[in-house]
Amino acid sequence: MEHEILENIKTTDDIKKLNIDKLEMLCSELRDEIISKVSETGGHLASNLGAVELTVALHYVFDSPNEPIIWDVGHQCYSHKILTGRDITGIRTEGGLSGFPKSAESEHDLFVAGHASTSISAALGIAEAKKISKSNDSVVAVVGDGAFSGGMIFEAMNNAGRSKTNLVVVLNDNEMSISPNVGAMAKYLANIRSKEGYFRFKDNLEHMILKVPAIGKGIYSLLRRIKTFFKDMFYSSNTFEHFGFTYLGPVDGHDVEMLIRTLKRAKSIRRPVLVHINTLKGKGYGPAEKNPSKFHGVAPFYKESGELKKKSGDSFSNAFGKILCNLAENDDKICAITAAMTDGTGLRDFSEKFPDRFFDVGIAEEHAMTFAAGLAAGGMKPVFAVYSTFLQRTYDQILHDASIEPKHVVIGIDRAGIVGGDGETHQGIFDVPILTTIPGVTVYSPFNYSELEANIKNALSGKGVQAVRYPRGSEKNVPEKYNKAYGNYDYFEGSSDCLLITYGRLFSEAAFAAEESGASVLKIGKIFPIEHELIEIAKKYKNILFFEESVEFGSIAEHFGNMLKKSGFNGKYEIHCVSGFVPHMSVESAMELHGLDCESMKNAVKEALK
């Protein structure tokens, strides 16, 4: 398929010159381009296909980058990237574009986003700055319905509604965020959606009446009052209006013409407006329409069939889910909590087997943590499964609600360590530093599934906050000699005066490196608090090398180093950690770059023993 319209879009101004027919063709070409390219590299497909018409209409009506578009979560921005002159070939792979908005790529991306519910706060800040600078430019935030379960959205709405800014919030309602969403807000939106057509009717009517010269305005005024009455009848309960927004919608999010008319009106209102549009995740690609959850973040697939090119194998997430199900069979106090990640965290089976003890709270990590503390206070054994990067949101809840007066909450930290294609916004390299600042928190980091099981059992029989962190993907191999049932720590004595200290997935790299270099290995399973026995073992060495998938400040290595120092250790130690934010690239590439792969370890041993 030729992309004749798309090929002629050199700047976003070119979009504004197209007529409706051409705009519709452009949408079709964008859709084709996205399906083709994502089928090759993998990426976020369903959400991007749902936002094609919206993106075209936004660039038609608003003047980006002066009127910036802030994408919530950011994984629906592929059309935006293409229309602003970027080639999505190889997206999310090293050297290709980021899968999320990124300022470094384009002036049209003013804000990075990979976590949900931040867009209105950011957009309101920009809008207030424009107001202070006496600019009349609009600022647009595009938010999915899923993100509306996040507290920040409400904090922002509460402030935005009363602001005197030209803020346009587009609620992209696809009846489903990552997992089908939950809660009162979802139900409420469903209720509004059922009144679809009202806006179109109202819009047409007004249009018609205003065309009648002279008397038009009088009738319009009368009708306005009638309309207000009817509107109150139909929409008497519009929460967005309570927040001070002018509400427009719901409109068909795949009707470019209607979108343009609505957005133009929103722009003309010159106060905070919420435009509610209905879209279909995966729109225009059969397999994705049928199974939007599978095609949310998808691996490379055959475009014709939608089949994945490689079967997805086992994973820590699935192992976690199975282990928890087995334990819950025999312990009716075990509860599982997820923040809109039932599938991602491997909890699908749990949710079906134990619906009364399963809680999907929506994208609401802060609530999830304190809710878990509440379950614990009520005598349950709550297990909150959450990606490391999203755990960052719950620092205060872990500290204030679950640790000052310890509540026995187990946290299953998924995607701990380097994550690959999602890049900076999704790396799991901060959980160890922040958890270890909180008095009383215990942290485990298993190497394989059987250790994961042992860790979860320990965590469930422990006290206070107990975290078990495990990486994305599947368990790895080690040479025979290192393959055993792991305890809180395991010590493998080598032949040289060099000790490698590590945990989790990196143990595989370390074991192979030790095998070849003769170094010893201290593998920690319970990584925090650091047991004194570990210091005693380490002290026997003159050369200690730490390898850790974490930033350095606040790492286990740093804590361990200080404990060594206190114990009178006078040898050398070196810390090999992740430095800075890690952009999108394969896990393997990132490991090499940060000196955490087997080769780097071997070289480090050589250097240390020189």
Contacts to a copy of itself from residues 562-601, by CB under 8 A: 562, 565-566, 570, 573-575, 579-581
- Sorted by sequence, the CB contacts under 8 Å of residue 160 that are 6+ apart come out as 120, 124, 167, 169, 243, 244, 245, 272
- Quick one: which of 195, 207, 300 has its CA closest to 249? 195
Q: Which of these segments, 5-13, 16-24, 241-249, 258-266, binds a copy of itself (CB under 8 A)? A: 241-249
Q: How far is the CB of 574 from a copy of itself (least distance, A)?
A: 8
What is the CA 487 to chain-centroid distance, rounded? Answer: 33
- Quick one: which of 454, 379, 378, 368 has its CA closest to 411? 368
167-173/410-414 β-pairing: unpaired
543 belongs to the binding site for a copy of itself (CB under 8 A): no
Contact 490, 523 (CB under 8 A): yes
Q: Which of 144, 253, 421, 433 is close enough to bind a copy of itself by CB under 8 A?
A: 433
Of 116 and 263, nearer to a copy of itself (C-beta) is 116
Of 302 and 581, nearer to a copy of itself (C-beta) is 581
Q: Which of 15, 45, 153, 513 is close enough to bind a copy of itself by CB under 8 A?
A: 153
Q: Which of these segments, 113-121, 222-230, 257-265, 454-462, binds a copy of itself (CB under 8 A)? A: 113-121
User: Among the options 53, 67, 365, 549, which is catalytic?
Assistant: 365
* DSSP E strand stretches across 388-452: 410-414, 442-444
Of 151 and 180, nearer to a copy of itself (C-beta) is 151
Task: Give the end-to-end CA distance of the chain in Å, rounded to a whole number.
Answer: 61
- Secondary element (H or E) of residue 170: strand 167-173
3-state secondary structure 301-339: ECCCCCCECCCCCCCHHHHHHHHHHHHHHCCCCEEEEEC
392 belongs to the binding site for a copy of itself (CB under 8 A): yes
Pairwise CA distance, residues 398 & 389, whole Å: 15
404 belongs to the binding site for a copy of itself (CB under 8 A): yes
Q: Which of these segments, 305-313, 424-432, 500-508, 532-540, binds a copy of itself (CB under 8 A)? A: 424-432
Q: Which of these segments, 124-132, 290-298, 475-483, 511-519, binds a copy of itself (CB under 8 A)? A: 124-132
Active site annotation includes 505: no
Q: Which of these segments, 238-246, 281-289, 490-498, 517-525, binds a copy of itself (CB under 8 A)? A: 238-246
Q: Which of these segments, 18-26, 27-35, 231-239, 255-263, binds a copy of itself (CB under 8 A)? A: 231-239
Active site annotation includes 365: yes
Of 145 and 451, nearer to a copy of itself (C-beta) is 145
Q: How far is the CB of 374 from a copy of itself (least distance, A)?
A: 2
CA torsion, points 315, 318, 324, 329, in degrees to nearest 10?
Answer: -140
Angle at 300 between CA 43 and CA 255, to 5 degrees: 50
401 belongs to the binding site for a copy of itself (CB under 8 A): yes
Of 148 and 512, nearer to a copy of itself (C-beta) is 148
Q: Which of 75, 102, 281, 526 is close enough to bind a copy of itself by CB under 8 A?
A: 102
Pairwise CA distance, residues 120 & 137, whole Å: 16
Could you give the angle at which helices 20-41 and 256-269 cross, rounded to 10 degrees?
100
464 belongs to the binding site for a copy of itself (CB under 8 A): no
118 belongs to the binding site for a copy of itself (CB under 8 A): yes
Of 287 and 420, nearer to a copy of itself (C-beta) is 420
Of 260 and 435, nearer to a copy of itself (C-beta) is 435
Q: In what order do the strands lie in the sheet with 572-578?
A: 489-492, 520-524, 498-503, 543-551, 572-578
Q: Which of these segments, 42-50, 354-362, 471-479, 481-489, binds a copy of itself (CB under 8 A)? A: 354-362
Pairwise CA distance, residues 281 & 143, whole Å: 14
Pairwise CA distance, residues 91 & 96, whole Å: 5
396 belongs to the binding site for a copy of itself (CB under 8 A): yes
Exposed/middle/buried for residue 237 (C-beta within 10 Å: 0-12, 13-18, 19+): exposed
- Secondary element (H or E) of residue 440: none
437 belongs to the binding site for a copy of itself (CB under 8 A): yes
207 belongs to the binding site for a copy of itself (CB under 8 A): no
244 belongs to the binding site for a copy of itself (CB under 8 A): yes
Of 299 and 377, nearer to a copy of itself (C-beta) is 377
126 belongs to the binding site for a copy of itself (CB under 8 A): yes
- Quick one: which of 349, 346, 345 has its CA closest to 357? 349
Q: How many CA atoms lie within 13 A of 253 on its CB side?
A: 28
- Quick one: which of 392, 373, 393 has its CA closest to 384? 373
Q: How many CA atoms lie within 13 A of 60 on its CB side?
A: 24
Q: Which of these segments, 205-213, 229-237, 260-268, 451-459, binds a copy of itself (CB under 8 A)? A: 229-237
Q: How far is the CB of 427 from a copy of itself (least distance, A)?
A: 10
99 belongs to the binding site for a copy of itself (CB under 8 A): no
Active site annotation includes 281: yes
- Of residues 367-386, those binding a copy of itself (CB under 8 A): 367, 370-380, 382
387 belongs to the binding site for a copy of itself (CB under 8 A): no
487 belongs to the binding site for a copy of itself (CB under 8 A): no
Contact 394, 368 (CB under 8 A): yes
- Quick one: which of 254, 258, 201, 209 has its CA closest to 231? 201
Q: How far is the CB of 32 from a copy of itself (least distance, A)?
A: 31
124 belongs to the binding site for a copy of itself (CB under 8 A): yes
- Of residues 546-565, those binding a copy of itself (CB under 8 A): 551-554, 558-559, 561-562, 565
Pairwise CA distance, residues 448 & 606, whole Å: 28
User: Among the options 281, 283, 407, 523, which is catalytic?
Assistant: 281
Q: How far is the CB of 543 from a copy of itself (least distance, A)?
A: 13
Pairwise CA distance, residues 517 & 497, whole Å: 11
- Catalytic positions, written as ranges: 281, 365, 393
